[in-house]
Structure formats: C-alpha cells, structure tokens
Amino acid sequence: MTIRPATRADLAAVHRLEGEAFGAEAYPRFFVRQAWDLWPGSLLVAEVDGELLGYVLAGSGEDPAEAWILSLAVAPAARRMGLGRALSEAALAALGEGRRVWLTVAPASPARRLYEGLGFVEARREDDYFGPDEARLVMVRSP
C-alpha cells in the first residue's frame, strides 16, 4: 500500500469513491477539485498495486489550532484491509501535532470504531446535521 498526496489526475477516482461511499450526500466533483486546490497536501490517496482504493480529505480551519477530517472513503472491495486506518493516520500526521481535530460520522457507521481507536471521542450528536433525519456524531481528538 502506498499513501501519497493526490494529483489532479486522481480527482476523478476520488470523486467516484466519494459517490460510492456517500451516495446522495457525496461531495460534488467541483468541491473535490476545490478542496485539492485549497488543501493540496491534505487530500491523500491510498494505492494498492497501482489502483487507487481510498482517500482522505482533511483541512485547516480559521483557527490554526483546529482542523477537520472532512471525508474518508475506501473502495468496498478493499475494506477491512487497514486502508482507512492508514489514511486516517497519514491525515493526522499531515495536519501536524498539537491541533484539535474534528470529524463527523453517522452514528451506526463502522468507521466510528476506527475513529475511537485513533483517540476521537464524541463531542455531541446532531440529529439534523445534514438535514432532517441526517444524524451525525461530531467527534474530536485533542492534542
């Protein structure tokens, strides 16, 4: 497995993975491109045998002491191989030490256990984070 910063040539595959993972809630293609422009070192991809099988998008906010993991997706056929953990760890390293890192996750998502294993704790639950009946847990990892 190789984890590296995404290139412009990777953006279509990143968007495809985003759609497979999040369906109607997926980020649109233009956002993926703009995120790459804004945080080029924080859109990381995972390749296995030259095939792009996962990505993570992280970024800094207005407060330099805080950052967000905005999206993480792994191809269905490559799940449970450690790519999600490796991508998350790489994103945290890219964000740098000493920052509070936030993310959201669906309450029933298996990714919740991954994030807890990385030191994230539930800060709050929002039952309408993305709209009616679109609950998310807001999680945080403190330095």
Q: Report residue 61 as tokens.
A: 């906010």
Sequence spans of domains, the chain: 2-100
DSSP classification of residue 132: T
pLDDT of residue 40: 84
pTM: 0.91
Q: Write out pLDDT tens, residues 75-118.
A: 988 888 899 999 999 999 999 889 999 999 999 988 999 999 99
pLDDT in tens, 44-87: 999 999 999 999 999 988 898 999 999 999 998 888 889 999 99
Q: Does domain 2-100 have CATH number 1.20.1090.10?
A: no
Per-residue confidence at 132, pLDDT binned at 50, 70, 90? confident
